[in-house]
Amino acid sequence: MISLNKALSMIKSKEIEFVDLKFCDLRGTWQHMTLSAHEFTKETCETGVGFDGSSIKGFQSIYDSDMLLMPDVRTIFKDPFFGKTFSCICSIYDPQSVLPSPKDPRHTAQKAEKYLKKTNVGDVSYWGPELEFFVFDQLSIDLGPYKQAINICNREIPGEDHSSSLSQDGYKIPVKRGYFPVPPFDKLQEFRSEMVSMLESLGVVIEVHHHEVATAGQVEIDLRYDGLVSMADKVMLYKYVARNLAKSYGMVAVFLPKPIFGDNGSGMHTHQSIFKNNKNMFYDPKGYGEISKIGLSYVAGLLKHVSAILGITNPTTNSYRRLVPHFEAPTSIAFSARNRSAAVRIPMYFSKSEKSKRLEFRCPDPTCNPYLSFAAQLVAGIDGVKNKLDPIKLGFGPFDDNIWERKDVAQTPKSLFETLAQLEKDDIFTMSGVFSKELIKSYLEMKSEEATEVMMYPTPADFFYYGDI
C-alpha cells in the first residue's frame, strides 16, 4: 500500500492521472467511480465524494439518495490493470450526520472488531479464508423467456471436443482428480503464479496455490491470515485481480459455488482465531483437538446459529447446489478434528503450536460479502462464548467417524429461502449492535427478491426430468 503523502507526491509529478474509488455494496460486489487525479486531495479525503445511493441495490431510496464515499487512505494502491491509476477502498457515510452509513458492509465489519474488544473476549480476531474458484476458457450465458443456456469450455475437460482454438494435447485430468497433478495436466500453473505475484506486489501475502479437485479449471489460492476488516478488503482485491487477470488471458474467472453438475463446488473455508494479550484464546494443549473451552464455546455459537449465518455466508440459490452431502460438502451441523464433512473442523496440521491453532468454518462460499460474512461468524461465535455454550452437551460432536452415515446429526438447510427465514428470526446479529436493523432489512428484501426471480426461470433440467409427464 502507498501512503497518502507519497500518493499526493506522485499525483503532483504527473505519474498518476486517475484515482479510482472502490466500495462494497450489500451483495458483496465492488462498485467504483474514478476521479481525475488533481481532484484527489487531503480535503477530498476528509470531506468525501458524493454519489447516488438509490442507484446501488439495497442502499437508499430515491427520496434520500445522497451518500458519501470516504477514502480510507491506508488502502491506496497502484492499480495493476490500468496505467497511471491509483485505487483506494472507501467506506460509506451519510452526508447529513457525517457518520458511517448503517448499511455499509465495511463499517459493519469495523463494528465487529470493536464488539470483540467490548465483550472482552479478545483483542483481535484473525481470518484466513481459502477461496476456490473456476477459470474457464469460454463462458456464454443466454437468459431469456424463450432460451436459457450456459456453455462452458475448458481445455481441462476430459473427452470433449472444443473449438479448434483450444488445443487437444491429450493431457487430461480425470473427473474429480484435480487435486493436484503437475503440469501439463494442470494447465493453470502460469495463471495462478502470475496472480500470486500480482497480489503480493499489492501487499496481499499468499501462502500457497494449487489446482483443486474439480476437473475443469478449479483453483485455490490461499491468503495469509489477517485482521477482520483488512482480510475482507483483501478478499475483494483478490476477486478483482482474478477476474481482470483472467480476462487478460482470454479466460473467465467464476466464483459460483456450483457451476458444474456432478463435480466438486467452490467453497471459502474460513479459518479463524481470537487473541487476547498476545495469547491464542482457542488453544489448550490438553483439549480435544488442542482447543480450549473458549474455543469450544465459540464452535457452539457458530453451530447453534448456523442456519441464520448461512443466509449471509452462502447467499445465493447456487450456494445450495454445493451444500449437498458428498463432494466434500460440509453439510453436517457438527464439529470434528479432521472430518471435512463437518461444518466446523479443527485443523490438525501442527500439534503443540499455539500460534497456529484455529477453527475452520467450512460452509461459506465465495459469493458471500466478506465484510458481512466474517462479522456474522464472529458475532455468533462470541454469543457462544458469552453464554458458555458446550457443543458436546448440545449434541454437535465431536464426530470422528463417517458423519454422513449417522442419523442423529442435523444437516444444513437446503435452500436460501430457509436460511433467510432463519436470519430474519435470529436477533443476535442486531442485538450485538454490529448489524443495524436497516442493513438486515434491506439485505433480506434484496436477497429474497433475487432468489424469487432466479427460481422463476425454468432450467434444462426441468424439461429433462419432467418433459414426459
- Which of 106, 269, 305, 345 is labelled catalytic? 269
DSSP 23-83: EE-TTS-EEEEEEEGGG--HHHHHH-EEEEGGGSTTS--GGG-EEEEEE-GGG-EE-SSST
pLDDT band at 326 (very low <50, low <70, confident <90, very high): low
- Please give the average per-residue pLDDT across 258-284, as a whole number: 95
Strands 218-223 and 279-280: unpaired
**Do 343 and 376 have their domain in common?**
yes
Among 130, 263, 290, 426, which one carries the catalytic annotation?
130
Q: Decide if pLDDT at 283 tops 90.
A: yes
Three cell numbers written together for 426: 435470529
Model confidence pLDDT, tens digit, residues 330-371: 999 999 987 778 999 998 877 788 888 999 999 999 999 999
Annotated active-site residue 39? The verdict is no
Q: Is the model's pLDDT at 437 over the cut of 80?
A: yes
pLDDT of residue 190: 95
Listed residues 76, 101, 126: the one ending a domain: 101
Statement to judge: residues 76 and 204 lie in one domain:
no
Active site residue 130: yes
- The kind and range of the H/E element at 424 are helix 416-425
Full domain range(s) for residue 370: 118-134+199-209+217-466
Residue 468 falls in the annotated catalytic set: no
**In what helix (H) or strand (E) does residue 298 lie, and over which residues does it extend?**
helix 293-304
Residue 92 placed within a domain: yes
Asked if residue 161 is part of any domain, the answer here is: no
Is 269 an active-site residue? Answer: yes
Residue 325 pLDDT exceeds 80: no
* Tens digit of each residue's pLDDT (9 = 90 or more) over 180-236: 887 788 889 999 999 999 999 999 999 999 988 888 899 999 999 999 999 999 999
Catalytic residue among 212, 263, 284, 290: 212
**172 neighbors 205 (Cβ within 8 angstroms):** no
- Among the listed residues 113, 220, 290, 426, the single catalytic one is 220
The CATH code of the domain that includes 128 is 3.30.590.10
The reply to whether 46 and 126 lie within a common domain is no
Strand partners, 33: 21
> Domains in the chain: how many in total?
2
Establish whether 328 is a catalytic residue: no
Residues 122 and 21 in one domain: no
pLDDT at 407: 80
The whole model's pTM is what? 0.95
Q: Is 279 left (phi over 0), alpha (psi -120 to 50) or beta?
A: beta
Q: Which of these is catalytic: 25, 79, 113, 132?
A: 132
Task: Assess whether 81 and 204 both reside in one domain.
Answer: no
Bridge partners (DSSP) of residue 135 are: 253
* Residue closest to 107 by CA, chosen among 430, 444, 375: 375
Cβ atoms of 271 and 358 within 8 Å: the answer is yes
The one catalytic residue in 27, 106, 107, 362 is 362
Is 46 catalytic? The answer is: no
Does 212 participate in catalysis according to the annotation? Answer: yes
Asked if 294 and 429 sit in the same domain, the reply is: yes
Please give the pLDDT value at position 329: 83
Of 59 and 317, the structure prediction assigns the larger pLDDT to 317
- 258 within some domain: yes
How far is 92 from 443, CA to CA, in rounded Å? 16
Q: Locate the DSSP E strands across 277-363.
A: 279-280, 332-336, 342-345, 359-361
- Residue 164 belongs to a domain: no
Task: Tell me, yes or no, if 360 is annotated catalytic.
Answer: yes
**Can you tell me the distance from the alpha carbon of 346 to that of 460, in angstroms, rounded to the nearest whole number?**
40
177 noted as active-site residue: no
Residue at 141 is within a domain: no
Handedness of CA 365, 370, 374, 376 (dihedral sign): negative
Catalytic residue among 340, 438, 449, 453: 340
Asked whether residue 394 falls in the same domain as residue 350, the answer is yes
Which of the following is catalytic: 360, 365, 383, 426?
360
| 314 and 412 share one domain | yes
**Cα(240)–Cα(387) distance, integer angstroms:** 39
State the pLDDT at residue 420: 98
Judge if 446 and 411 occupy the same domain.
yes
